[in-house]
Amino acid sequence: MATRMKLKLKTVFVLYFMVSLLGLVYALMQLGQRCDCTEHDLPKDRTISRLRGELHRLQEQMRKIEATKQPQKQPVKPSPPTIFVITPTYARLVQKAELTRLSQTFLHVPQLHWIVVEDSPHKTPLVTDLLMKSGLTYTHLHMPTAKDRKLQEGDPSWLKPRGVEQRNEGLRWLREDRRAQPGGDSQHGVVYFADDDNTYSLQIFEEMRSTQRVSVWPVGLVGGMKYERPVVEGGKVVRFHTGWRPSRPFPMDMAGFAVSLKLVLANPEACFDGDAPMGLLESSLLQGLVTIDELEPKADNCTKVLVWHTRTEKPKMKREEALQAQGLGSDPAVEV
Amino acid sequence: MLAVNTGSDSGLTLEMPKRRDIVAIVLIVLPWTLLITVWHQNTIAPLLAAQKDDGQDGRSNSRNTFAFKDSCSLQKREIVEVVRTEYVYSRPPPWSDILPTIHVITPTYSRPVQKAELTRLANTLLHVSNLHWILVEDSQRRTPLVSRLLQDTGLNYTHLNVETPRNYKVRGDTRDPRIPRGTIQRNLALRWLRETFSVNNSQSGIVFFADDDNTYSLELFEEMRSTKKVSVWPVAFVGGLRYESPKVNFVGKVYGWKTVFDPHRPFAIDMAGFAVNLHLILSKPQAYFKLRGVKGGYQESSLLKELVTLSDLEPKAANCTKVLVWHTRTEKPVLVNEGKKGFTDSNVEI
């Protein structure tokens, strides 16, 4: 009886082992077969990797050409001063589109450090992802606007100043970061406040790179006019050409000036005043930093428009809202 | 190999069966662990690598639904990651002999934001390899603003112009859907392509209609490069929705349109939502955008129905689940302070 039991167990065991072995062999064969499937697609994959290799080779070539060109183009300094671009941003439908095309512009500018400050209590995955994939040197910060200072739905855009806390946070981070870095070279740089819906030409960044204190230039499509600009006589700014409240201390737009990093660090208290009346936000910062005759005119003595204060329409969502009321809205998992 | 020692059975001590049991257990478990590790390696690891890859390379268009394929092409991933880093300074990217050329057709017209729009569009296009920009102005003759801009960018371009006859032009700002804007300009570009490239020419190319106020991700251009006939993808902010997209079934074929506004159009898609292979354009020389009697939203269909059928459409952007292009519109700037005579110097170009 015992032997029969043992025999049964033995056969069961043998069977089990053979079955599992066959299964393993089958799986290995499947593995082999998968490779066979890719054999058919391998030409496509090969083309893709060949194309990518070619792309990589060409970019290497370009890099080498740039490297040999650079000694002629660049000044004696080893690396040009970094431009720190502070961009406040907030979540809305067009946010990803705006940041995408902004990053595409910045990707052309060498030595640019993008400081993105979200109006949010925490970093959002949309912006985190976008910055990671952008290929830019960046710092991702966040600072929520206090509720009473925030624009409500339906408020006109000029009712409350926007981006104040975020820009100040950018300045604060910059000051802290630079303090932690020794060496005079880390003081070389230019700070520019770039809103995420404006349009920037590549030339404006090269113009601002040589800022010693505060440099200024015209801005297109702002102040109810085709452009606003400082008026330059004898190489110095004497007054401002603007259609709206020209009596302001610095009647210009946020996109119309850049401050040298040295000046920002030398004046640790200088920041934007959220309580300033409409249109005086820029002045609230610049007043403590510079006088009008110290301003450095750029863009060909302020005769060229190299930055435009474009604004993007709010997309019409009537149908989306109607669908959502029925519970048939578009997939929220698809990021727009 | 199975040591069946019946001999030692008779002299059974407590240890023997234990050892035999252990051996038996090991021999049972071994093939399963091998099986599981092999299966694990094949499915999980390539997926993980693919996710990391996607994270590092935003331009990767090889979203891996088939993990098995990629396990055989590790080298491809490495090349992609290296390409990422040294990207910033080459503009435009060097011309490659093997990549298909993307012909981007952009109609444009003079208005205050024109230079700004074209500037930022050019900044985007400067990143795309093998791109040929066909800019068609709605004007009597080519304006110096656009000519200068095109020259300064360094892009490979063709500058055309054709004026929309006055009875077709949109009067003022009124959005008259019966007169689609840019139609004559796009048709001129199509005609130019047909006159420049012969059907027998083996040069591969893709045709894409890009309006100057939309926003395009760089990934979009790489997605459309593999178009064989007509490829389609979702577009954000059109049709009063977050995005409109083609409906794709589980075998990867387009069978309908996920839109609210007239989803029964032959091609319920926006101008920025499709690209056509150049060869198809050249082989159907009678296919143009219809000028007269086109209902609102049917302009794209008027061209596409001459070129393809629904089943020929190739869905891109991960089977039309990713949004890579946004139909942004720029606000008309408020120029109230210019007054009647114009406050600012009209010689300054904006």
Return the CATH number at A264.
Answer: 3.90.550.10
The pLDDT profile of chain A, 336 residues, written as one tens digit per residue, is: 556 666 677 888 788 878 888 877 877 777 655 444 444 455 666 666 667 667 766 766 776 666 665 555 544 556 789 999 999 999 999 999 999 999 999 999 999 999 999 999 999 999 999 999 999 999 999 999 888 777 777 777 667 778 899 999 999 999 998 887 766 666 789 999 999 999 999 999 999 999 999 999 999 998 888 899 999 999 999 999 988 888 899 999 999 999 999 999 999 999 999 888 888 899 999 998 999 999 999 999 999 999 999 999 888 888 888 878 888 777 777 888
Domain span at residue A210 reads: 82-148+160-215+253-299
Note whether B116 contacts A135, CB cutoff 8 Å.
no
Give a yes or no: residue A322 inside a domain: no
Give a yes or no: residue B349 inside a domain: no
- B107 to chain A nearest CA, in Å? 19
Give a yes or no: residue A286 inside a domain: yes
Compute the distance between CA of residue A312 and CA of residue A115 in angstroms, rounded to an integer: 21
Does the annotation list A195 as a binding residue?
A: yes
Compute the distance between CA of residue A227 and CA of residue A305 in angstroms, rounded to an integer: 8
Q: What residues of A are in contact with residue B24 (Cβ under 8 Å)?
A: 13
Whether A230 has its CB under 8 Å from any CB of chain B: the answer is no
Give a yes or no: residue A50 inside a domain: no
CB B193 within 8 A of CB B281: yes
Tell which residue, B219, B295, B4, B271, has the closest CA to residue A130.
B219
Give a yes or no: residue B250 inside a domain: yes
Strands B274-277 and B313-315, how do they pair? unpaired
Whether B39 has its CB under 8 Å from any CB of chain A: the answer is yes
The tokens describing B337, both together, are 């302070």
Give a yes or no: residue A166 inside a domain: yes
Give a yes or no: residue B218 inside a domain: yes
CB B142 within 8 A of CB B157: no
Give a yes or no: residue B31 inside a domain: no
Quickly count: other Cβ atoms within 10 Å of residue A155's Cβ: 10
For residue B144, the domain's CATH number is: 3.90.550.10
Give a yes or no: residue B341 inside a domain: no
Compute the distance between CA of residue B199 and CA of residue B218 in angstroms, rounded to an integer: 29
- The complex scores an ipTM of 0.75
Compute the distance between CA of residue A136 and CA of residue A122 in angstroms, rounded to an integer: 21
Whether B262 has its CB under 8 Å from any CB of chain A: the answer is no
Give a yes or no: residue A185 inside a domain: yes
Counting the structural domains of chain B, the total is 1
Please report how the helices B114-125 and B144-153 are oriented relative to each other, as an axis angle in degrees rounded to 10.
Answer: 20
The DSSP result for A212-231, as a single string, is SSEEE--EES-TTSSEEEEE
CB B97 within 8 A of CB B133: no
Probe site for chain A from B75, B258, B328 (most A CB atoms < 10 A): B328
Catalytic residue among A98, A165, A207, A282, which?
A: A282
Give a yes or no: residue B76 inside a domain: no
Compute the distance between CA of residue B320 and CA of residue B241 in angstroms, rounded to an integer: 15
Q: Which residue has the tokens 């040069």?
A: B203
Give a yes or no: residue B236 inside a domain: yes
Q: What residues of A are in contact with residue B124 (Cβ under 8 Å)?
A: 101, 104-105
The tokens describing B138, both together, are 């709605």
Does the annotation list B225 as a binding residue?
A: no
Q: Is A282 a catalytic residue?
A: yes
Q: What residues of A are in contact with residue B84 (Cβ under 8 Å)?
A: 135
Does the annotation list B212 as a binding residue?
A: yes
CB B98 within 8 A of CB A51: yes
Compute the distance between CA of residue A225 and CA of residue A244 in angstroms, rounded to an integer: 9
Give a yes or no: residue A184 inside a domain: yes
Q: Is the pTM of this model over 0.80?
A: no
Counting the structural domains of chain A, the total is 1
Whether A187 has its CB under 8 Å from any CB of chain B: the answer is no
Note whether A27 contacts B88, CB cutoff 8 Å.
no
Catalytic residue among B300, B306, B314, B338, which?
A: B300
Domain span at residue B239 reads: 101-326
Give a yes or no: residue B170 inside a domain: yes
Give a yes or no: residue A209 inside a domain: yes
Does the annotation list B186 as a binding residue?
A: yes
Q: Cis omega (within 30 of 0) on the bond before B92?
A: yes
Strands (E), B47-128: 101-108
